[in-house]
Amino acid sequence: MLAIESTPLQARAAGLGLRRALLKELQIAAPGDFDFLEVAPENWIGIGGAHGAALNALAERYPLTCHGLSLSLGGSAPLDVAFLGEVRVFLERYKVPLYSEHLSYCSDDGHLYDLLPLPFTEEAVHHVAARIRQAQDVLGRRLAVENVSYYAAPRQDMDELTFTNAVLAEADCDLLLDVNNVYVNSVNHGFDPHGFLAGIAPDRVVAMHVAGHYDESDTLKIDTHGAPVKPVVWDLLAQAYARFGAQPTLLERDFNFPGFDALLAELNTIRRLQHQADGTRREVA
């Protein structure tokens, strides 16, 4: 597998998603407001005009990471190799250091426009791991998969932690750890989020996501990316840094955008927790 040359992200980096609703604020942001931008390649490949010019200008100022939406790693239809080729060109053009996708599926003879859960079975482990390896070969780089939120599981012969670890090991890929998804799933499915973090191999985690969610009830949380990060998730993020070290972390906000100052305040919380984790690990060492 050939490696694509790119500049790695700094560990203590806090980023935002490149959303068109935020485009004006991102373009006029002061240096240091954020450290990188994450884009969904599906939304930007081949884009020209004003939006394409804006992407190019921002890419000259900030590193880009890519988080895919439609690869459908767990799906039954063959991987879209032509699309993967387009993604590879995009990654090389912008020297993207990190490309991630969801540990789920989203297509079955057409896109379903949702991230659907995989069965936690040995068969599913082998299936999705083989597709990840194929994707890595086409891309010429390691792929990071993200743990997703889910509300019903088609079959569970093992728990989510065991399934995730098995996929990471068999595919030999990385993990984009979504801390909010860990919390949401822990409430909805009744497991210990701290135990989940403790069970992930530290060398697999290469980046993190943090986001807000909606409290439907004490036993049902909905991952929305449309609200501020809740204190319990900030606490879990701090524990994740304590275990895995400071990692490049994206603040996910997809709609219901607040004033830009509110987003900057959450980015500063990420940075504060990253610095605290580094200080704690130095003291322990």
Domain boundaries, the chain: 14-284
14-284 is a CATH 3.20.20.150 domain: yes
The one-digit pLDDT tens for each residue of the chain (285 residues) are 444 456 789 999 999 999 999 999 999 999 999 999 999 999 999 999 999 999 999 999 999 999 999 899 998 889 999 999 999 999 999 999 999 999 998 755 544 456 788 999 999 999 999 999 999 999 999 999 999 999 988 899 999 999 999 999 999 999 999 999 999 999 999 999 999 999 999 999 999 999 999 999 999 999 999 999 999 999 999 999 999 999 999 999 999 999 999 999 999 999 999 999 976 655 544
pLDDT of residue 285: 40
Residues in a beta bridge with 116? 105
Distance between CA atoms of residues 97 and 212, nearest Å: 25
Question: Is 7 exposed, middle or buried (CB count within 10 Å of its CB: 0-12, 13-18, 19+)?
Answer: exposed
Radius of gyration of the chain (CA): 18
pLDDT of residue 280: 66
